[in-house]
Amino acid sequence: MPLDMAASIRSGDLKGASKLGLSDCVGCGACSYICPSSIPLTHLFNYAKGELILQDKARQKMEATKLLAQRREQRMEREARDREALMAARRAAAAEKKAQQAEQDAAKQEASA
């Protein structure tokens, strides 16, 4: 089993090594000690565990970045809607004020005529 994990690690298949039981390794070094070929199994296993942790952190960072981007997009859309609603309210108030001014001007003209 340790040799299969080592072969997977050497070929770059860290997930395959993990499926073979890489996470079960406690790093005691017994397999490296008894290996007749003097393959540094413990070193390979520690390397693979570290790489898997780095990959997981990178994945988590990417997901967090995506979430931040989504939240920013939602915030920008909400602010654009709010800005448009404010502008519409201002235009309506300006139109109402203009209509009132026109009524007052018409009333003044009738009074002076």
Q: What is the pLDDT along the chain (113 residues), one digit of tens a residue?
A: 888 999 999 999 999 999 999 999 998 999 988 888 889 999 999 999 999 999 999 999 999 999 999 999 999 999 999 999 999 999 999 999 999 999 998 888 888 76
Tell me, yes or no, whether 63 lies in a domain.
yes
Domain extent for 87? 2-104
From 53, 51, 44, select the one nearest 25 (Cα to Cα): 44
* Amino acid at site 66: K
* pTM, two decimal places: 0.67
Tell me what the pLDDT averaged over the chain comes to.
93
Tell me, yes or no, whether 18 lies in a domain.
yes
Q: Are 27 and 2 in contact (CB under 8 A)?
A: no
Tell me, yes or no, whether 51 lies in a domain.
yes
User: Rounded distance, CA 64 to CA 70, Å?
Assistant: 10
Tell me, yes or no, whether 110 lies in a domain.
no
pLDDT per residue over 49-81, tens digit each?
999 999 999 999 999 999 999 999 999 999 999
For 51, other C-beta atoms within 10 Å of its C-beta total: 14
Tell me, yes or no, whether 70 lies in a domain.
yes
- What is the count of structural domains for the chain? 1
Which pLDDT value is given to residue 113?
Answer: 66
Tell me, yes or no, whether 113 lies in a domain.
no
Tell me, yes or no, whether 112 lies in a domain.
no
Which pLDDT value is given to residue 11?
Answer: 94
Tell me, yes or no, whether 98 lies in a domain.
yes
